[in-house]
Structure 1
Amino acid sequence: MRVPGTSPAEPAVSRGYAWLVFALSFGLLLSDYMSRQVLNAVFPLLRAEWLLSDAQLGSLSGIVALMVGVLTFPLSLLADRWGRVKSLVAAATVWSLATLGCAVSASYGQMFLGRFMVGVGEAAYGSVGIAVVLSIFPVTLRATLSGAFIGGGAFGSVLGVSIGGVVAQHLGWRWAFGVMGLFGLVLATLYALVVREKRLSPSTGRRRGAPGERAPVRALLPRLFSSVSVICAYVGSGLQMFITMALLAWMPSFLNRYYAMPPAKAGLVAGGFALITGIGMVGGGIVADRLSRTVGARKWTVAISCSLGTLALLTVGFQLPAGPLQLVLIGAGTLLSNSTAGPAAAMVANLTPAAIAATAMATLTLANSLLGLAPGPAVTGMLADHMGLLSALQVVPLVAAVAGAAFVIGKRYYEKDLCRIGLLPDVALGTPEPQP
């Protein structure tokens, strides 16, 4: 017997259509992060042309994450009611047009406004997109799919930083923004033509005319914060994201300043580090699903291990002198820095109702944004202004210690919370088994 508000073990759509929706949703996620991270590739060019400080550069990156954090919850709740497909198409259109606006900016103020609107467009995409993906696949793949989908952000960052750096080097930074904006508009049009709300599982679409539709949603909202373990998943994920975003934002500048790389080469190399982050996200989800086949709480163990590994590797790496060994250790720490994404998202999905899946993922995105995405680049930039970029990056890994502590607490309460909300903790494939 299935507990009300949870997902069925098998989705109602065909496997082929499910993978088609995943591919298109993943493509839009790439566009999302390409539009977001292309800015980092042109930091040196903007700094030279407009005489910007590191704090100003960091604010151009951080404002996007801040708007994601502020708006993701209300826009995701709206998507749960209005329709997730329509919401995804509208979001992609807004961020693509805003990125084109950045291409014609004539000052820091205009660029800031453009980036503000990029954040508005991107606010709900991650949460709504992953809710659609999780709802059309078996629950036994939650950590793997969550890691893969969230990892698309890293892959998009690779493309945004790498392609943006090359385009900016040859055609100027304005063309870098222009290419990203046009790519997003094409994908948004394709998504609107191919993906239809009525073909998705009923749990992902808006069920018009269902009696009492609004009351259950309001009743389920408290479940977003009803357990210690789900709150710990939010906090741990957000703090790990702080480290990841600080590295993604400042790696091109780090390589430019301390390894004397020109912007194009620094962008390509930094893109490699972003790719490593994405590989870590996918790998973390796969490992978590495999290890938790008989004991679901092992997902927490994976997250704890990744946090401690991040702390050790990055702390040592940034203390070493510039050279191959330093880059290897930083790369290893980068691999683990956001490998917690898949396990954390799976835990949130397990502990919250499917009827508000997008809103639950929005809450996770809110935590990621307010604790990680927004402050990561900005705080690092402010520290760099006072103590130098290298010293700032030496401080950043300490955040992983707090993230690891949150995951430890979450693991301690996980089984108790599952029992309290009516789910058994002893589960096959690491997913909660509904209580009869």
Structure 2
Amino acid sequence: MKTAKGRAFYLLTLICVIYLLDYADRKVMSGIFESVKAEWAISDSQLGLLNGIVSLMISVFVIPMSIIVDRWSRKYMISLMVFIWSIATLLCAFAQNYYQLLFFRALTGLGEAAYAAAAVAMITKAFPRSHRTKYIGIYDAAAPIGSGIGIMLGGYIAEMYGWRHAFGLVAAPGVIVSLLFLTIRDYHTVQISEKIKESISLSKEVIQDCLYLFKIPTLWFIYFAYSLIIGLNTCVIDWIPTFFQRFHGLSEKEAAMKAGVLAVAVLIGAPLGGFISDVWEKRNKHAKVFVSAISTAISIVFLYLAIQTTSMELAVLFFGLFGVHTVAFLAPASSITQEVVRTNVRALSFGINVLIMNLFAFAVPVLVGKISDVFDLRFAMSLLPILGVIAIVLFFLVRNQYHIDRKKL
């Protein structure tokens, strides 16, 4: 770790482990949906809200926390955030009713609010542009691994020992890693002048930074395309264990195991999307956009087939192929949000992206739950590919604008 390269890879390792734990803590809930529903007799829309509230809290707090990340210390902020969301997850094990659990899930979202923005900013700083997309792809791959682990542990432990024990198991590692992160070397952030240290002046600078970002057309296309796909993916991850139980007759443990394996299997797609983008971009300047659009188009076809088939084997196959393709956009799209802005607002840029995408991650699963309450879960999930079609259109709209905005830097 004495060399710059060694420090960079140590940082990347910790960031990936933390992101894995982030998603394990988020998605453990998906593996225990039916146990919680049975114990408290709640609706599908209420179930959806237990995961959705995490995304909503991230949306509410991501901007102010991203500002602190950009102006204070990424190292200390990440350590603090991991500690907070881990303790909040542990508290979920002690919830005595639906509203207590909802409150503790909201605290989990508060802790996770600006982690993605801080992590992407640190990776962007630590690695050169020629390899940056690849390493962001590796980082993004930690999310499906964490989701899979959380879902599998949730379903298995819920069936064997009761759903409350699942929260305690996934929470403990986060406390340890939060302390380990204090060992990394922080890097220089843009210093705030004496006047800006005053709250009013700081607010003015933040408003100026936001206005600067809002004037970049590329960001708007990417923000909403990214968010539509994240809303779609979040909904599938949240509901797939329940889908397997209701329409394919699996037990909670069996459904969680299959859903968890599928979530882990999609880790191929995130780094693969980054790798293809890096290689293809040497020949085609639109590579990042093309990879994002093409992979999304393929994914929604497999998603529709997975939902409609009555064969368990085909459903697993199609969901798996959907998963690999639907995360391939992450690295190239994330890279674009960093490459069209000044270095001092990179975390804020991605923070706005996180805000919007988490609003979709909140709304889509809850909406699907409400539609499921009226019709059924299969019908509700069959509507999801529509979001992918809209995202594809947005990706193509950004094709030329991306290079125009980069040249303005």
Equivalent residues of 2:123, 2:132 under 8 A apart: no
User: Counterparts of 1:248-327 in structure 2 under 5 Å?
Assistant: 248-327=237-316
* 5+ residue gaps, structure 2: none
User: Counterparts of 1:136-147 in structure 2 under 5 Å?
Assistant: 136-147=126-137
Structure 2 SS opposite 1:116: helix
Structure 2 SS opposite 1:52: coil
CA distance in 2 between partners of 1:219 and 1:108 (Å): 41
Q: Aligned residue for 2:404? A: 416
Equivalent residues of 1:243, 1:337 under 8 A apart: no
User: Counterparts of 1:126-137 in structure 2 under 5 Å?
Assistant: 126-137=116-127
Measured against aligned partners, the alpha-carbon deviations of 1:329-357 in whole angstroms (never above 9, x if no partner) come to 22212222222111110111111111122
Q: Aligned residue for 2:388? A: 400
User: Counterparts of 1:144-223 in structure 2 under 5 Å?
Assistant: 144-192=134-182, 194-197=183-186, 200=187, 202=188, 205=189, 207=191, 219-223=208-212
Q: Aligned residue for 2:365? A: 377
Q: Aligned residue for 1:104? A: 94
CA distance in 1 between partners of 2:349 and 2:155 (Å): 35
User: Counterparts of 1:4-153 in structure 2 under 5 Å?
Assistant: 14-153=4-143
Q: Counterpart amino acid of 2:130?
A: T
CA distance in 2 between partners of 1:72 and 1:307 (Å): 26
Structure 1 SS opposite 2:400: helix
Equivalent residues of 2:116, 2:354 under 8 A apart: yes
Equivalent residues of 2:340, 2:402 under 8 A apart: no
CA distance in 1 between partners of 2:315 and 2:175 (Å): 40
Equivalent residues of 1:158, 1:275 under 8 A apart: yes
Shift in alpha-carbon separation, 1:160–1:358, aligned structure 2, 3 A: same
Shift in alpha-carbon separation, 1:130–1:168, aligned structure 2, 3 A: same
**Aligned residue pairs, count:** 403
Equivalent residues of 2:15, 2:119 under 8 A apart: yes
Structure 2 SS opposite 1:293: coil
CA distance in 2 between partners of 1:385 and 1:322 (Å): 24
Q: Counterpart amino acid of 1:296?
A: K
Measured against aligned partners, the alpha-carbon deviations of 1:189-239 in whole angstroms (never above 9, x if no partner) come to 2212x1242xx3x2xx46477998979876544332222222111111111
* 5+ residue gaps, structure 1: 1-11, 423-436
Q: Counterpart amino acid of 2:115?
A: Y
Please state how far the C-alpha of 1:418 moved relative to its aligned partner: 2.7
Q: Aligned residue for 1:365? A: 354
Could you tell me the percent identity over the aligned residues? 26
Equivalent residues of 1:309, 1:333 under 8 A apart: yes
Instruction: Please report the RMSD computed on the Cα atoms of aligned residues, expressed in angstroms.
Output: 2.1
TM-score w.r.t. length of structure 1: 0.88
Task: Select between 116-125 and 20-29 the one with higher mean Cα deviation.
Answer: 20-29
Please state how far the C-alpha of 1:147 moved relative to its aligned partner: 2.0
Equivalent residues of 1:73, 1:124 under 8 A apart: yes
